[in-house]
Amino acid sequence: MSTSLRLGDDAPDFEQNSSTGPIKFHEYLGDSWGVLFSHPADFTPVCTTELGFTAKLKDEFAKRNVKVLAVSVDDADSHNKWIEDINDTQNTTVNFPILADDDRKVSTLYDMIHPNASATATVRSVFIIDPAKKVRLIITYPASTGRNFNEILRVIDSLQLTDSHSVATPVNWEDGQDVIIVPSLKDPEVLKQKFPKGYTEVRPYLRTTPQPNK
């Protein structure tokens, strides 16, 4: 019986075969952030587009210190045949491992099988995991809907920024835009020190400031 993961939980470790050989998850991540994302099956059209686009984001993930790991419930031989199709149809080169989760070990650990949707295929789950191996984001899409990887990059930008500065990011925020000072910060001297560019007080609880690390 799987247990649903929640934000802030430790990301379960595992060892599983993949398209590039055996992977020990925590060891694979090292001190990087991680994106673990599941696919209903090999040779499926939506997944083919997703994995191709993820491969094209290699430099974007690298500059954010993020390692990507896909998971599908087929075996490694099937994955490697599928990768040839992905490379050909999406005009790219898959540059990250796809876990061969044919025993459903990882799918069960991360609660990726939703029986009322499908008894065998994984739903489209995304987990963002920080260097402390904590789960920081979970998004689950239906199998028929391709994911927005620009949104995944946006969330990583927000998490990395808000971890290192006393800010939160507002609706539809993109990297480089103004951010919100956390309401718990009230000391004028601390505010002056942390936000030398100044800030605008819309309400006492809503204060905007230019992005501090830009």
Catalytic residues: 47
Nearest to 21 by CA among 84, 77, 61: 77
Residue 158 DSSP SS3: helix
Alpha helices by DSSP H, listed for the chain, are 25-29, 45-56, 58-63, 76-90, 105-109, 149-164, 188-194
Q: How far apart are CA 134 and CA 122, in angstroms?
A: 22
List Cα–Cα distances, 75 to 19, 21, 154, in angstroms.
Answer: 8, 11, 32
Nearest to 7 by CA among 120, 130, 109, 122: 130
Q: How far apart are CA 88 and CA 113, in angstroms?
A: 29
- How many C-beta atoms surround the C-beta of residue 124 within 10 A? 22
DSSP 2: -
Residue 37 DSSP SS3: strand
